[in-house]
Structure 1
Amino acid sequence: MPPVDDDGPSVLIPTGVAPYSYPCLRSLSRRGVRTVAASERDHVPVFSSRFCDETARLPSPDDDLLAYKDALLDLAAREDVRAVIPIREYDAYLLSRYRDEFAERAAVEVPSIETLERVHDRVKLAEAAETAGAPVPETRPLDAVEDWSGDHIVKSRYNLLADRYVDTHAPDECEEVNHVTHARPDEEPDREELVAEMNHVPIVQEFVPSSDEYMFAALYDEGDPVATFQHRQIRGNSYTGGGGVYRESMYDPELERVARDLLGELDWHGLACIEYMEHAETGEYYLTEINPRMWQSLPSTVRAGADFPLYYWLQSRDRTDEIDPDFELGVGSHLLYGELGYLASVLSDESPYVERPGLGETALEIGESMVRQPRFDFLRLDDPRPFVSGVLQTLSKSD
């Protein structure tokens, strides 16, 4: 899609195949902001959206992170581009690591790299939560664990493996490690196997019995909250957990307090998506992680009236006084292929700590919620092509 020669402001939205950037395109294009969607992939579902005004090609961040960064800088240097929105972990890291370089070209609402490191390093994040007085699972490096009695989870220490955090990666290398292992009680896992699988020494966290999962989202301006949002996660990618595929907006002042205390301790700036578990016995909100970027369930957030793409744009233009942070309670939205993945997980996934639900009961619950809350993340009657494109890509991969 060629660029249009006009004087309107543009926003740069780096994106992958997953369509989580779609709400940014939809929200801002409808308000007269030209949307520039950039990706290392050729066939990206959101490229087909009526709200995608221009596309651009990027090098793969997996192949050369610095080449990807330089390409983003070139696009950000265009006279019409006024802001860059972090969609993926690569983007959050690069925009913070090279914040001064990007800020010379376009607005970037991201924390300093020192603050980001306190979030990307889950050991440091746990320390920050403890300082803020916020509940957090006991978190230790794998090599610091001697007693394996009780229930534990082994996961990556970092949101992103990059040279700022680990000495195994060069400046042009990065890697996301999302593997989670549920360790069996009184069984010490194989250290060499875990380190080889995750390419670094992971962390061990105590398993927290949870009754529900929640998300707190926020946009901050130099330590001050500009807008916040909450939802309860009804279903995730798997019955054992993961990103939300069906959620409903809600508000609990205690969750608001806990999250704000943590972000205050971090002196936060920019976007934050904080995931919490509600302790099944105490009812306390236990921190899971922070994502310093737009989040998987952003479409559901915007459906409830919390338009964070617009909020981000307004803050980048020094117009935070125009932000109305109110949202509607009890609004649910479904990620359709995520719901199918959740159903499949009942057959394929397993955990020694989470009871497997019945297949028939699960299918009935999904169907009932779709009738009661017929809202979908990417299926839009006024813009069906991204959804259709995504379905066709999924089907082609399964051939």
Structure 2
Amino acid sequence: MSSKAVILGCNYYIGLSTIRCLGIHGIHTVAVDYTDKNTYAVKSKYCSERLVSPHYKEDPRGFIAFLKDYAAKQSEKPVLIPCHDNYVEIVDEYLDELRESFLIPQTEQGLYTKLMNKETLQRIALELGVAVPETVRVGEDDFYAKIDAVIKYPCIIKPSDSPAFVAKFRKKLFKANNRQELDEAIAKSHEEGLEVIVQRIIPGFDDHMYTFDAYMNQESKVTHWVTCQKFRQYPINFGASVYTGQRYVPELYELGAKFFEAVGYKGFAEIEFKKDAETGQYYLIEINVRITNLNNLLYKTGINIPYITYMELTGTPMPPHAVTRNTGLVFWYAYEDLMAVRNYIRTGQLTVGQVVRSYFKPKAPAIWSWSDPKPAFAFFGMIAGKAMGRFTRR
């Protein structure tokens, strides 16, 4: 019997694409979530098994015991793949314990969390000579003077703990156009017990956002990588990718590979950069230490991250590969892209013509698959149900 792949988080298309990337190679996939409601990824024909676990936050010890109990019943150690930041956090917290039962690429407990935390990430990046946006910490000396002189308005207020912030406010950050809005954003965050930092906004439209997506082997060497350029995100300007194309940018390899190898990272991760529209310098914005939105795009370009992970951990590593050409492929999350397009047009950032022309590219859809359509039907049913619920409550 070969190892099973246990996928944490199945109510989003990241889990779905992970299941497909493994299932297409005949790997037994196990979808785990704390509820069976809206978990449309389990509808995939490539989902071999589904489990409902205790809630990772409400009962963390129960969740870990559930995973270990499942692993103990298997003939081979399963490969564990978290597909959401909250699952990454608990895997990191119990990493040493979970590694006794599962195959996990990362070996250093706490590294995931250090790279997810905006403050520790900034310190590490600066130590390694990687540019990050100018930052002021709430409460430091001459706080407002530094905001006026260095950061300037508008500015962004970002959380140290992104998953907790997003869970509370349903957005990645706050934007402040003046001191009053800055104070209000800080107060809102502190009321929820969330620490925040204030950063300069790097000039440039959303298409100045880029990603370096890479897999690091057990020697922390980059073996597989691809670079991408965002075209649109949702919420607009400071959101997640909804329309992003693969684009070969060798400079990002130089920056990203140096960073990951220096910190001893193992497994898959993605760095988001922003290119300053005035200077051309790339700034490190954040790091995703799990499978990301772009997973299906990476797969379509020839970089199957879940399978690469599985094969290395089970003893048969894949030969190195990088996408060093422009394929023209675009990741598309149609549902949120339509909402983003509406807002881009409303705010005058894009024209209807620009949007229409952008769609003439080969797509890597977030959810739809002609060979595996059931998850899309389940997703559409879920969205229709939510819309009907809002309508009946009016």
Tell whether 2:389 aligns with 1:391: no
What amino acid is aligned across from residue 375 of structure 2 in structure 1? P
Instruction: Provide the alpha-carbon RMSD of the alignment.
Output: 2.4
Pick one of 260, 275, 278 that aligns with 2:257: 260
Query: SS in structure 1 opposite 2:338?
Result: helix
What amino acid is aligned across from residue 320 of structure 1 in structure 2? P
- Deviation (angstroms), 1:328: 5.9
1:51: which partner in 2? 46
2:194: which partner in 1? 200
- Deviation (angstroms), 1:57: 0.7
Q: Render the CA deviation track for 1:292-314: whole Å, top value 9, x for unaligned.
A: 11111211211222111111111
Closer, same or farther: CA 192–126 of 1 in aligned 2, 3 Å: closer
What amino acid is aligned across from residue 157 of structure 1 in structure 2? S
- Deviation (angstroms), 1:377: 2.2
CA distance in 1, matches of 2:235, 2:186: 27
- Deviation (angstroms), 1:396: 0.2
- What are the equivalent positions in structure 2 for 1:17-36 lying under 5 Å apart? 17-36=11-30
CA distance in 2, matches of 1:75, 1:327: 41
Amino-acid identity (%):
20
Closer, same or farther: CA 243–197 of 1 in aligned 2, 3 Å: farther
2:391: which partner in 1? none
Pick one of 155, 176, 185 that aligns with 1:183: 176
Pick one of 303, 312, 317 that aligns with 1:306: 303
Closer, same or farther: CA 195–339 of 1 in aligned 2, 3 Å: closer
CA distance in 1, matches of 2:24, 2:303: 16
CA distance in 2, matches of 1:139, 1:113: 27
1:38: which partner in 2? 32
Structure 2: where are the runs of 5+ without partners?
389-394
Tell whether 2:70 aligns with 1:75: yes
Closer, same or farther: CA 106–176 of 1 in aligned 2, 3 Å: farther
Closer, same or farther: CA 326–251 of 1 in aligned 2, 3 Å: closer
- What are the equivalent positions in structure 2 for 1:78-93 lying under 5 Å apart? 78-80=73-75, 81-93=77-89
- What are the equivalent positions in structure 2 for 1:184-263 lying under 5 Å apart? 184-187=177-180, 188-190=182-184, 193-196=187-190, 198-211=192-205, 212-221=208-217, 222-263=219-260
What amino acid is aligned across from residue 31 of structure 2 in structure 1? A
CA distance in 1, matches of 2:305, 2:50: 22
Tell whether 2:161 aligns with 1:158: yes
Closer, same or farther: CA 55–207 of 1 in aligned 2, 3 Å: same
What amino acid is aligned across from residue 71 of structure 2 in structure 1? A
- Deviation (angstroms), 1:207: 1.4
Kept in 2: contact 1:213–1:278 (CA 8 A)? yes
- Deviation (angstroms), 1:196: 4.0
Closer, same or farther: CA 138–274 of 1 in aligned 2, 3 Å: same
- What are the equivalent positions in structure 2 for 1:129-168 lying under 5 Å apart? 129-144=125-140, 145-147=143-145, 148-149=147-148, 150-151=152-153, 152-161=155-164
Once the two structures are overlaid, the 10-residue window that deviates more, 213-222 or 367-376, is 367-376
CA distance in 1, matches of 2:275, 2:192: 28
CA distance in 1, matches of 2:230, 2:314: 32
Pick one of 112, 134, 148 that aligns with 1:116: 112
Closer, same or farther: CA 111–231 of 1 in aligned 2, 3 Å: farther
Kept in 2: contact 1:303–1:333 (CA 8 A)? no
CA distance in 1, matches of 2:50, 2:84: 17
TM-score (norm 1): 0.86
CA distance in 1, matches of 2:348, 2:94: 45
1:165: which partner in 2? none
CA distance in 1, matches of 2:131, 2:192: 26
What amino acid is aligned across from residue 356 of structure 2 in structure 1? G
Aligned length: 373
Kept in 1: contact 2:16–2:42 (CA 8 A)? no
- What are the equivalent positions in structure 2 for 1:226-375 lying under 5 Å apart? 226-326=223-323, 329=326, 330-346=328-344, 356-358=348-350, 361-362=351-352, 364-375=353-364
